[in-house]
Every structure is written in C-alpha cells, then in structure tokens.
Structure 1
Amino acid sequence: MGMEIRTASAGDRELVVRLLDAAFQDDPVSRWVFPGDEYRRTTHHRLMAAFTDIVFGEGRVDITEDGAACALWLSVPAADSHGQDTGEDDGPAQVRAAVDPGNERVELIGRLTADIHPSDRAHAYLWMIGVAPERQGEGLGTALIAPVLDSCDRDGLPAYLEASSVRSRKLYERLGFELADRPLDLPEGPQMWPMWREPRT
C-alpha cells in the first residue's frame, strides 16, 4: 500500500487514546466491559488510556503516518523455570482503581486474559490494534501487523493475541494465527479467541 508507519512517541498519546476509543466503541468485549452506550462513551476512553500508558512504558506503539491506525506491541519473555512472581497479579486491580473503581469487569478482563496468556515461550504480543471506524476495511490493520510478523519470522519468534470479534479473528487467521486454546467465554458475555502464530521460515 506504500503506507508510512512510524513508532509513536509520548506526543502521540492523546491521538492513540482517541483512536483506540473510537475503534473499540462497538467491539463486543468493550460493550461487555462497559454496558450501555452512554456509559461506554463517557468511560471507555479511560481504559484505552491505561492500556496506552502501559504499552508506552513497556512496549511499542506503531502508528500510520496519517494517524488512522495503531498497533500496541509488547515483547514477552519466557517465564523462568521457578515461575517467578513479576508482580503482574496486581495489575488488573490497579487498572480498575485508575479507570473505573466500581466496575469489576475492568479488573476481571485483565485477570481472565492473563490466565490464558502463554508463558512458556518468548513471543511478540499484539495487545491491541485500532483502526479509525471510517477507515476500517482498507487493509490498514494488515499493513501495520505485517512488518512485525516479518520480523518475527526472521528472528524465529512466535506471536500471540486475543481476538475480540469474529471479524478480527478472520483477519488474524489470514495472517497465519491459529486458535491457541479453547475460546475464552466471558461471564454472561461474548467470546475471545487466544491466537498463536508460529514463525514462518
């Protein structure tokens, strides 16, 4: 597509938060975490801001030069043989306290996804990818992900993600991801699909 992609800087934070907020307003998992359109419109952006800050601190955000799409990546090391405690168990509770203290689903989604996250092998973790609603279907997501997957292939590194909709699951399947385990059934809510991609040679 000839699209320019760059690594986002701290100055892009608000743009990334707005982009993720808009992209996930109608996502099934976001609708479950924040039920009710008005509630979601006024609160959802705080969760996207928390996610953005975590990835800016620990990973990398790729963004298209026109600001229409972004991808949040973390490099996840393999757990050591002693199963050391990294302190991540407090993460979901801290996010809930910062985002929406009265909403237990903010914490629950973090705990449930952490429980199914593979830990035996180092991998690239695509935490989220957001495309502006008016630009969806143009291939921006694929354009953002493909260079990272090419790098994974060169380095022999697997990749992992959780798909939150049937549409995104199909996109990831086209890029070589496969269902890593049974779907995650959110309580009284939608499914998420943990997906794993072995590096291609």
Structure 2
Amino acid sequence: MWRSLVLSCLPVSALACGAPICRVAPDTLELAQIITFDDLPSGWDPGHRVDDLLRLPGASFAERFAGQTLGAEGDHDTVSGPALAPLTLLPGAPGQTLSVVRLYSSNILNGYGPAGYPWTHGQGEGAIAVLFDEDQPALSFQVLGGEDGAATVQFLRRDGSVIHVARVGGLGPVSLGFRRADDLPDIAGFVITNTDPQGLAIDNLRFGPPPKLG
C-alpha cells in the first residue's frame, strides 16, 4: 500500500505564519524524544491490529478524544469539535482503531476507517489521536503514503479546547513539523485525519524539548 517513500519538507517561518501553531521545517526543531513504533508487534499489510489504547513512553495513541464527534467522509474518518476535560483518548469500534504495519525494516502506525480491519480501503483512512504525557511546545512526525491528498491536524489543550486546526494538502511522503506561537507549552494532544485516496500512516513522532542545563 505504501509507495514512493521519499521524505520531504517545506520550510515555513514560524514568525511569518501568524497562526497559533505554525508548520515549520522539522530540522529547525530541537526535540529530544522519538517514538518509532519499531519495538511493537507488527505484520505486513494489513498489519498487527490494535483495538485498545496504545501506550508508549511519553505518548499514547488511539482514534479520538472523549467528547469529540466521529463521522465519515466516504471511506475516511472525520473527527470534529472540542474534547472533554481532562483530555482522554478513546479507541474506535473493533477493527476501526489502529494497526502497526511492517514496512521494510521499520514499523509504521496507521488508522483504520469505517471499512475496518483488514480491508485495504480501510487501511490508512482512519483517524489517529495522540496524547502526550506532558504538554509540548513543538512536535514533528513523518507521514507515509499519500497520493496528493490532504490531511487535517487538530491540536488540543489538556482541558480539551482546540488550539488550532492545520490543513496540509498535496501530500505524498513528507515530514511535518509544528511549533506553538511563542513556544507556549500547551499542546497536550492532536488528531490527524485525511482524505487521501491511498490513506496515510505516521512514523517517527518527535517531541520533548531538550533539558535545560545549568
């Protein structure tokens, strides 16, 4: 399913954006922690099915947050609205949450849409929600797959309120970086959905500013 996995990025000045959260070049961010998914059980397409919360050091993963509205646009999940406080992850229906797919020598994480596991037209079409253990001022992750489609990334605070909704179009394999205005550390989590014909997966989530010395 996942083809032409060549990474790219679009440098965007955080100062020129003017939004609460700006898209920036990932290599401009100093981020100390990375989640690669490589130590998880996995399999070739359709991957290792995950129906519950996926908890990893520093962050957890599911479909959406409690209080949000789940819908569908064709084969793709839609997630809208603020969440309940405190921000709490929810898995989807059985077979409609996540899977961990082995791709060459690494693992990637994808969401399953309404068609459900193991159907190809469900793989990569589902929402992926991420909840950090600690609030963040910046983050980055890789998007894999993509056939010139679009993704929406909704960023939320710990109280469930929406900080910003970023829309990214023309997607192929790409590395995305995001930075909070004034480096305010209040990004508790985010949800990524997409309308790409091929669907999307994520890998190499980076977060956590380096520790201050002295």
Which one has the bigger helix percentage? Answer: 1
Taking structure 1 as the reference length, the TM-score comes to 0.32
Which one has the bigger strand percentage? Answer: 2
